[in-house]
Chains A and B, each alone.
Chain A
Amino acid sequence: MKSTALNAGPASAAAEPMQDSRQGGIRKTSRINRFMVSPSVIVLALWMVVPLSMTIYFSLIRYNLLYPGDNEFVGLENFQFFVTDFGFMAGMSNTLLLVGSVLLITVVLGVLISLLVNQAFWGRGIVRILLISPFFIMPTVNALIWKNLLLHPVSGVFAAIWKFFGATPIDWFSEFPLFSIIMIVSWQWLPFAILLLMTALQSLDQEQQEAARLDGAGPCALFFHLTLPHLARPIAVVVMIETIFLLSIFAEIFTTTGGGPGYETTNLAYLIYSQALLQFDVGLASAGGLIAVVLANIAAFFLVRLIGKSLTEKQ
C-alpha cells in the first residue's frame, strides 16, 4: 500500500490487483497530492485574499489622505459616488472604445500582415524581426516616442509629412486624443498579434491548401475556408490576452494626454489612479477598483463563453 501511494502514478495504482486496495491507493495518492501543492495554493490565496479584503474594507469607509483619522464606515456611499461621477461614464466608454478598437485593428492588421510575411521574399527574416520589435519597447518609452517624435505638431514626423503635402499639421493629442492613444496602443500590441498568427500560419497544412486548389478554390476561398478557420484559435488567444492587458492601459495615457482633454482619454484605470493619487481619496479609488474588478470579471466571463470553448476544444 505504502509503495502505491508513494509511486503516485496511475500506472502503479492500476497494477494493484484488488479493487479495494486500488481505490484506497488513489484516495491516499490524491490526499498526498493535495498536501504537496498546498504551500503554493496557500501563498497564492493569501496573495489574493489580503489585498482584496483590504480593498473591500477601504471601499466601505471614508478614507481620504487629506483628512487623516476621519475614517468612519460609510456603507456603499463610495460606490454610489464613483458610479454617479461624470468621469465614470466617460471612463467606461473610453475603456470599451479603446479595447474594442485596438482589438479590431491588431487582429485585422495582424492577420493581413502575417499572411504577407508568410510569403517567401528576400529579407523576410529581418522584416519579421522588425515587425516584432515594437513589442519589446516599454509602454512609457513607446508613448514618448509617439508623443515627441511622431505626433508632435511642430517637430513630429507626421507634421513633416503633412507639411510636405502642404497641409496644416494636426495637433493629434488635442484634436483626436483617443484616436491617438488607440494608434499608440495598437502599434504596441500589433507585434503580439503578428507573432502569434505568424507562427500559427506556419503550421497551416500545405497539402490541405493543395487539395483545396485542386477543388477549385481561389485565394479568397482558401483564405475564408482554410486559413481563417485555422487561425480561429490563435485569434481567440490574441483577443483574450490583449483584452486582459488593454483593460488596464495606463502608462500610454499617463505619459501623453494625462487623461485629457477633459475626460476624453480617461479610462477606468486612469480614473482610479486620479481618484486615489490626485484627489487622495483612497476609499473612492478602492470602490472604483472593485467595480473595475467586477467589470473585468464580466468581460472575462463572456470572453471565455464566447471563445474559450474553441480553446479547450481538442484539435
Chain B
Amino acid sequence: MNVDLNLLRYNPEFDSRPHFESYRVQADPMERLLDCLHKVKWELDSSLALRFSCAHGVCGSDAMVVNGVNVLACKVLIKDLKQPITVEPIRGLSVLKDFIVDMEPFFAGYKAVKPWLIVDESEHEPARERIQSQEERDRFEDTTKCILCAACTTACPIFWSDEEYVGPAAIVNAHRFIFDSRDTGGDERLEILSQRDGAYKCRTAFNCTEACPRGIKVTKAIQEVKRVALYRSF
C-alpha cells in the first residue's frame, strides 16, 4: 500500500529552521514505521538522520513524536497509524539534525538521582548472593524495564518548560532502587528528589505513562516516590 509521510526535517548546516517534507513509500500494513523511515532514507533521501539499532523496542534509540504522540518508531505498525503520518523529533531537547536530539541533558537527569545500588560499604560483602524474596523483587519489577528512551520525559509539559526538572525517566530509575530491598541509599536519593527539581515538580499529567513503550506505570512510580519522600520529610 501507499504510505504518506510528513517528516519534520532540519539540518542546521543548510536550513534556517525546521520544515515539513512529504514522502510516499510502498509498505505492508504490518511493517513498522521505522521500516518506512528506512525506505525514505534508503530509496528517496539518504540524508535523513535518525537513530535506530535493535528495531524491536528494546534499545531505546528511536523515540519520536508520531501523529502528535511519543512512540518508538520500531514499535508502531503502519496499520495502526492515520495517514499522512506526521513525524517530529521528541520535544524539550534541542534538535541536532532531523530526528536526532541532544540526549546529554536527559542523561544528566538520570545521573543526578544516583541510579546504582547503594549499599553500606563498611559492611562485609556477602560471599554469595544477597537474599531477596521474589515478592521483594517484584516490588520494583516495573521500573527495572526502563530502556532510557526519553519518551516519557519529553512528553512531560513540566520538563518542556523547566529544564532543571530531572524528569520522569530519572524518577523511574530512582524508584527502581528506592524500592529494592537490598538498597540502603534511600535517604540520599530521596533528599535529591525532594529538592526543587525533584519529584514534587510532577503535576500528574499522565503523558509519561501513556508514552512509555515498555508499559511502565510512570506516574504511579513518581507518586510512590513522592509518598516515601513525604514520610521521611527532610
Q: Do A and B bind each other?
A: no
Which B residues fall within an 8 A CB radius of A? none
Which A residues fall within an 8 A CB radius of B? none
